[in-house]
Amino acid sequence: MISNCSQEIESKVVSPPQSLCKIYTSFPLALGIVKALGDLPGTKWLEPSHGQGVFLQALAELAVPAWRIRAIDLDADSCTKDDLARTTRGIDFLHWSISTQERFDRIVGNPPYLAISQLAGELRKTAACVEDFNGLPIGSCSNMWYAFVLCAIHLLREGGSLGFVLPSAVEYAEYSGSLREAIRDRFESIELLRCQRPLFNGVQEGTVVVIARGYKQGPFKFRRREFRTAGRLISALSNSTDGMRRCPEPRTAPSTETVLFSEIANIRLGGVTGDSRYFLLTDKQRREHRIPAQACRPVVSRARHLNVPVLTKTDWDFLKSSNQRVWLFKPSPATRKKYSVRHYLARTLENGGCNRSAYKIRLRSRWYDTPLPSQPDGFVSGMSKFGPWICLSEFKSLNATNTLYVIKFHRKISENERFGYALGLLSSLVQQQLRKSARRYADGLIKYEPSAITTLRLPKIPAKRRCRKPYLKAVRLLLSGKRGSARQIADDVFGMG
């Protein structure tokens, strides 16, 4: 559906924008999707973004006659596969969807991935006026793929199904939140299949295949699966109805008292060096350059450095002896007088010196002085396979660079509170909130921005409950891949079991 704000748009041929993101689906993937949806006598198909016709070719492979297939594309230039369907070119699918009386049993495609704000004129206005499930226009801050999905759903017959190749934003983007909340009431089942490697060459961010069946039917079932290769994903499409589980009805949140994360702590990026190759050193490199330890600061600089619940001096020493880059070159006025330090500062870029033209370095009054946050209480990796968790610090001199976030509590809190709030981050209460802000990448990593973490509501720590031991046990389980067990420990402590 498209809201009234677009009714003045005339139905006429428009040209596709030059910047339209065209990511062409491979034939094996298209064939896997149409086979997963299945064909029956009289079934009507729609391909809303026809492109080079790979889905039409896949349907021809299933012997679906052209008269049962409708294909739409904005590009007016014909292609050899147009005859495999009733093809209409040079028309905007979004606008066509509000005027057509046709309805379909199967809808397949790979819609364009382009921010609506990058469109111009009529295309932008039409897309921005597409109604979300909440009845409001999605606006220009959304994306074309989302507008396509919404319009496609409204063209389905009862009992119909759709199969789309979509960006990973379908799982986390704020603008698609209404779809994620409403989808369980619209379909009998949803399956989301994801490849750990990019499905398309030159596309860094992940893509997913979404198979939705049984429009306006129920009860709702859901399954999410990940595969190491595109080949395995395509093979899995042939049995995508096996093993589906019924999705439980949404439960009301427990009446747990909560506290806003931003009320207890700050979270920010670690120090930005501007040239990590020059500023971050292993202990071996520091010794080779004869740089005194007093001219450096101990840091953690990689997510893999956060491999224990609590970082101590002993843990950092182990990283140092393992040839990790855990020294930040940050000379004081006194150490700058030493010959070895002056020699390292004077190196040219060609001779391993600093890239002083880098933006962050040019902004500093002293190019060699990397600003660091005040002494952190803990560290967080913004990108991991486990979600955000706090690695608490018991090494008072330790800091971090900008591949990690640093945590600083607002006031001097007890040791038990530190462990309690860190444990609360692993609870079901917080995990439910995080699902709405996670950004998933093709390699399986999940990214969370600091702004998403500061708005989390953590459970308040029960009186007289000791939290250190449960936290240590939960994090060790988390790091070994047992996320459910870690969450259960947190829920038990906070009375959510």
pLDDT band at 464 (very low <50, low <70, confident <90, very high): confident
Task: Copy the structure tokens of residue 84.
Answer: 């495999």
CA distance 190 to 321: 49
Q: Which residue has the higher pLDDT, 405 or 381?
A: 405
CATH topology of domain 4-246: Rossmann fold (3.40.50)
Using the predicted structure, report yes or no on whether residue 465 has a pLDDT greater than 60: yes
Q: Angle, nearest 10°, between helix axes 468-479 and 415-424?
A: 40
For residues 418-427, give the mean pLDDT: 94
Are 105 and 157 in contact, with CB atoms under 8 Å apart?
yes
Calculate the alpha carbon distances from 399 to 197, 269, 282, 294, 324 in Å: 33, 11, 15, 15, 15
* Mean pLDDT (the chain, rounded): 85
Distance of CA 262 to the CA centre of its chain: 22
| Distance, CA of 191 to CA of 239 (rounded, Å) | 11
Mean pLDDT of 30-45: 93
Burial profile 422-444: b = 16 or more Cβ within 10 angstroms, e = fewer = bbbbbbbbbbebbeebbbbebee
Name, of 287-296, 360-369, 462-471, 474-483, the range with top average pLDDT: 287-296
* pLDDT tens string 317-338: 999 999 999 999 999 999 999 9
**What does the domain layout of the chain look like in residue ranges?**
4-246, 260-493
Which whole number is the average pLDDT over 245-266? 68
Supply the pLDDT for residue 224: 84
Give 171 or 344, the one with higher predicted confidence. 344
| Strands 399-400 and 296-300, sheet pairing | parallel
**Does 238 score more than 50 pLDDT?**
yes
Contact call for residues 408 and 449 (beta carbons, < 8 A): no
The pLDDT of residue 4 is above 60: no
pLDDT at 407 over 90: yes
Predicted local confidence at residue 388, as pLDDT: 87
pLDDT of residue 439: 61
DSSP β-bridge partners for residue 281: 327
Report the pLDDT averaged over residues 359-379: 93
pLDDT at 286: 96
DSSP strand pairing (156-167 vs 104-109)? parallel
Position 59, amino acid: L
Q: What is the pLDDT confidence band of residue 463, given thresholds at 50, 70 and 90?
A: confident
pLDDT at 497: 60
- Residue-wise pLDDT tens digits, 375-401: 999 999 876 666 789 999 999 999 999
Output the pLDDT for position 207.
Answer: 79
The DSSP line for 410-444 is SS---HHHHHHHHHHTTSHHHHHHHTTT-EE-TTS
Is pTM, for the whole model, over 0.75? no
pLDDT band with cut points at 50, 70 and 90 for residue 434: confident
Other residues' Cβ atoms within 10 Å of the Cβ of residue 133: 18
The mean pLDDT of 189-202, rounded to a whole number, is: 75
**Residue 290 Cα to chain centre, angstroms:** 43
% of the chain beyond a pLDDT of 90: 52
Res. 183 pLDDT band, cuts 50 70 90: confident
pLDDT of 288-300, one tens digit each? 999 999 999 999 9
Looking at residue 13, its amino acid is V
Is the pLDDT assigned to residue 18 strictly greater than 80? no
Please, how many CA atoms are within 13 Å of residue 465, restricted to the half-sphere of its CB? 22
In the chain the first and final C-alpha atoms are separated, in Å, by 42
* Burial class, 224, CB count within 10 angstroms (exposed 0-12 / middle 13-18 / buried 19+): exposed
